[in-house]
A and B are shown apart, each in its own frame.
Chain A
């Protein structure tokens, strides 16, 4: 039942095994075909991902331009489609400078460390019945572990470049990314409670009703945390251009800057894939359209929502970002877990939930989500930032004593 659209490790392995067997490597055909299949598949996967990232940058710029009543890139090629390639060529041809007082090893390693986890995540995404590089039975745990490397990479970039703005940005980034790991993990935990498995494919298959409908609160918490993890507007204090120059990537240029930006623009694609698997039912859909197409369509919807939010909301202050992570989001995540645990404890029969149980749960959860969000808005909305009264200028009374 493998669809011909997606590449799969087992088919590649069998193909190479046959080839090596006929060539006469009976003894070593197993490990040779295993390695060859892995290398060729990862080559294809990485190149596909990089190419789709390049096209995604065009899509993002055009879409945000449309949202913000601008034009976007429209010079190179039809509708500016060649703009990402022009950008890449320009960045590669630029001189790759390293500051004199920079920590050269850390500085050079930082882009690679930032790019690698983002590339690794795609290996466990089940676009079809299997993933690119075989199924992993702890897929979501792997993703949580891998994504926390991002904060180290950003701190490496800021520390290595020995620049005040860069270190400020990466300090903020470290604080922010570590804080938002917790709501993200809480959102994932509530998914795990319902699905009862860590494997991505099992999570996708266990969604008799999509989990976005069953637990909107968990979806809200996870999406907010994921947006912060990607460090995009409204959470882009890491590279707030108007305050910090460009944040952690101030000193980077040339191919290093290109790789940093590749990682940054690859993050939404990967995140939308994870959200699709966790909350939107993976490759579920009705029959004439194959599963991978459904998966990509859902990814596009998630990306579109991310772009919508990015083009609308302004950047938050750093204290507002940290406050949002620790006060409302953490609280809502905990409440969500308790709700899901309680409901599944009552409704579950022999460790399984039927579709009717999920419908009842979604009914309760939607009401509680709306009430919870309104209460949260009202509690935190009333708090104002109290500024001290301005001290009147001494020049204001100048000349009045003479009269």
Chain B
């Protein structure tokens, strides 16, 4: 039958006009449009109980007016943006700065430090990483002989100015220690998951403890 196509078109636009869930809405990043089941799951309640306890919100969710926060799931091996750095482990050897293909790590040390763990360690005055130019290859992490530098786990680090993207030593010290398990098999063997918010202390991240004198003598005796 001719002529019904144009009337059908009118019906489609009217649906868009009337039904709120068909409207174009902008949700800011962590928010997500939630259906009732998702909403109940995020609140940790059985959907049926949720329907009776909060029917208004349930109906709102059915129309499509409720949002919940939802972040993207990611692997613990994810090479995140903010680096995790343990100043107790760092000796100031600057291997990371040497291995960085872009040369964006800047380390300034002085020799007045004391021996903290293995070998001679220096006091570190400047530790700058220019995240704006970093390509997250992870060579600095691979190069670190004392497991002091780890990839981080976050990715929501956008800034308004390039100068804010430079991570300095204070930021690195005060940041939460949530290292990624990338190139750190000792962490992945422990089933460490930084996304769930687990933090690791500086004495737990190393691939081995400091060898005792007995161990060392045994090792030397073998040679």
Contacts and interface: CB of A to CB of B under 8 A. Distances in A.
Contact of A381 (B2, B9, B10): B2
A203 B31 CA distance: 57
B6 A67 contact: no
B73 interface: no
Contacts of A380: 2
Interface stretch (A8-16, A38-46, A308-316): A308-316
A382 B2 CA distance: 8
Nearest to B12: A312
B3 A68 contact: no
Interface in A122-160: none
Interface stretch (B16-24, B84-92, B117-125, B147-155): B16-24
Interface in A64-102: 66-71
Contacts of B23: 66, 69
A374 B14 CA distance: 23
A377 B10 contact: no
Contacts of A6: none
Contacts of A69: 16, 22-24
Contact of B13 (A67, A373, A382): A67
A376 B3 CA distance: 9
Contact of A308 (B2, B3, B10): B10
B49 interface: no
Interface in B12-47: 12-14, 16-17, 22-24, 26
A68 B24 CA distance: 9
A168 to B, nearest CB: 27
Contact of A66 (B2, B6, B17, B26): B17
Contacts of A374: 1, 3
A378 interface: yes
Contacts of B13: 67-68, 308, 311-312
Specify which of A67, A309, A311 lies most central, judged by the most chain B CB atoms within 10 Å of its CB: A67
Interface residues of A, number: 20
Contacts of B12: 312
Contacts of A63: 17
B3 A312 contact: no
Nearest to A378: B2
Given A71-B24, A313-B9, A381 B3 contact: yes
A312 B9 contact: yes
Contacts of B3: 373-374, 376-378, 381
A308 B14 contact: yes
A71 B26 CA distance: 10
A1 B2 CA distance: 51
A308 B2 CA distance: 21
A68 B10 contact: no
Contacts of B1: 374, 377-378
A273 B14 CA distance: 23
B147 to A, nearest CB: 51
Contacts of A70: 24
A309 B3 CA distance: 15
Contact of B10 (A66, A309, A373, A382): A309
Interface string B104-133: 000000000000000000000000000000
B19 to A, nearest CB: 11
Given A378-B1, A382-B2, 18 more contacts: A66-B16, A67-B16, A67-B17, A68-B13, A69-B23, A70-B24, A308-B10, A308-B13, A311-B13, A312-B6, A312-B13, A313-B6, A373-B3, A374-B1, A374-B3, A377-B2, A378-B2, A378-B3
24 contacts: A66-B16, A66-B23, A67-B16, A67-B17, A68-B13, A68-B16, A69-B24, A70-B24, A71-B26, A308-B13, A308-B14, A309-B10, A312-B9, A312-B13, A313-B6, A313-B9, A373-B3, A374-B3, A377-B1, A377-B3, A378-B1, A378-B2, A378-B3, A382-B2
Interface of B: 1-3, 6, 9-10, 12-14, 16-17, 22-24, 26
